Amino acid sequence: MSSNEKLERELDSFLDEKDSRIAVLYRKLPKPEPDAKLDAAVVAMAHRAVPTSTSPRQPRWLPAIGAAAVIALAAGVAFLIGPQIWQSRAIMPAAMQGVSAAKNVVNVHTQNEPSPPPPPAASPTVESTATLPAQVPAGMAAKFETAPPAGEAAPMSTPNIDRNAAATQELQKAENATPQLASPTAFPERALRKPIMDSTESRQTMSAKSQAAQANAASDATSAPESPSPQTAEQVARSAAKAPRAALRSYPSTAVRQWNRSWSTNEPQTREQWIAVIQHLLNEDRHDDAVQALAEFKKRFPDDELPPDLRDLK
């Protein structure tokens, strides 16, 4: 084996690290390393190049998630509290409108005395909205879940409310005291009885027959109205003969008999019934009553044409 071949074999062994005596010997050499100072210098240089790398890396999504959570929380709070704040702001002008509306209602009622009963002024809703804001701070009104309508709320001005309530109570008292005013269809009982009980002039002009009839009617009114006497039945039969048959059939005979006691219970409903009643009164020579009944008839049926026998009745 030539020296060249031996060298080539050793080179191959050195490159393959197989049985390379030189390589084995080299690895037994001391292994110097950089000292700690040099290591620190290199590492510091590397970290200076990327200054933020020394601190633990925080996830980038963490600030984004935090910001989103804060926004969602703020939106939720605004969603819960916002409408209440807006309601409390809206209550003030609505309340002022309610005060003026209530004032107008009072004025109308006081000017037009015989009018339909006003809406109840002491309803719980109006009371709560009318009195609470005068007693509690304005911010407390925001706790009401439903704002009252502008026409009902009158929270600020208690004197106006008192005046409104007083006027309403007066109207109710008047209605209770004179129900005939509240009910325009009711015929005044006192007006019906007056010619019978007090008018001596009419009594003098009455015929004996009509006096007897009045006496019977008065006795009926004071004694037992529910049990018709045979004489009253005859009178009803006579008046029914003069009145239209349909009207007499539709109108109860007991009502005809009791007509002068209380119109509020069995008042005539139709035109024919009214006419029958008026004719019945005339037949009984109760002229004043017939005139009043006719006036009431004209109120009820202003456009209707009177029968010929009633046109000249005054």
For other proteins, the binding residues in 244-263 under the rule CB under 8 A are none
By beta-carbon proximity to other proteins, the closer residue of 50 and 62 is: 50
Q: Does 204 bind other proteins (CB under 8 A)?
A: no
Pair 259, 251: CB distance under 8 Å: no
Angle of CA points 40, 44, 50, to nearest 5°: 155
Residue count (the chain):
314
Enumerate long-range contacts of 82-88, CB under 8 Å, 24 or more apart: 84/142, 84/143, 85/142, 87/142, 87/144, 87/147, 88/138, 88/139, 88/141, 88/142
Phi, psi of 204 (to 5 degrees): -65, -35
Written as one letter, the residue type at 256 is: V
Other beta carbons within 10 Å of 54: 8
Binding other proteins by CB under 8 A: which of 1, 2, 46, 271?
46
3-state SS class at 314? coil
Residue from 221, 217, 230 nearest 283 by CA: 217
Pick the binder of other proteins from 22, 78, 166, 197 (CB under 8 A): 22
Counting contacts by CB under 8 A, is residue 7 touching other proteins? yes
CB closer to other proteins out of 6 and 209: 6
Shortest distance in whole angstroms from residue 54 CB to other proteins: 5
Q: Cβ closer to other proteins: 16 or 234?
A: 16
Binding residue for other proteins, selected from 1, 29, 80, 208, defined by CB under 8 A: 29
Nearest approach in angstroms of CB 9 to other proteins is 11
Tokens of 177: 């005291």
Compare residues 24 and 215 and give the one whose CB is closer to other proteins: 24
CB of 67 to other proteins, least distance (A): 23
* Cβ neighbours of residue 158 closer than 8 Å, sequence gap 6 or more: 130, 131, 134
Cα separation, 92 vs 154, in Å, equals: 10
Binding region for other proteins (CB under 8 A) out of 44-52, 94-102, 163-171, 267-275: 44-52
Nearer to other proteins, 29 or 208 (CB): 29
Q: Are 253 and 236 in contact (CB under 8 A)?
A: yes
Using alpha carbons, select from 218, 259, 216, 222 the residue that is nearest to residue 234: 216
Q: Which is nearer to other proteins, 56 or 159 (CB)?
A: 56
Residue 110, Cα to own-chain centre: how many angstroms? 25
- The secondary structure element, H or E, covering residue 1 is none
Name the minimum Å distance from CB 66 to other proteins. Answer: 23
For residue 18, state whether it binds other proteins (rule: CB under 8 A).
Answer: no
Binding mask 49-78 for other proteins (x = CB under 8 A): xx-xxx--x---------------------
Is 32 near other proteins (CB under 8 A)? yes
In 10 A of CB 165, how many CB atoms?
Answer: 18
d(C-alpha 120, C-alpha 266), whole Å: 29
Stretch that binds other proteins, among 34-42, 70-78, 208-216, 250-258 (CB under 8 A): 34-42
Q: Is 26 in the site for other proteins (CB under 8 A)?
A: yes
Q: Which is nearer to other proteins, 21 or 245 (CB)?
A: 21
Instruction: Decide: is 39 part of the binding site for other proteins (CB under 8 A).
Output: yes
Residue range at the interface with other proteins (CB under 8 A); choices 4-12, 164-172, 215-223, 249-257: 4-12
Residues that bind other proteins (CB under 8 A): 7-8, 10-11, 14-15, 21-23, 25-35, 38-39, 41-43, 45-47, 49-50, 52-54, 57
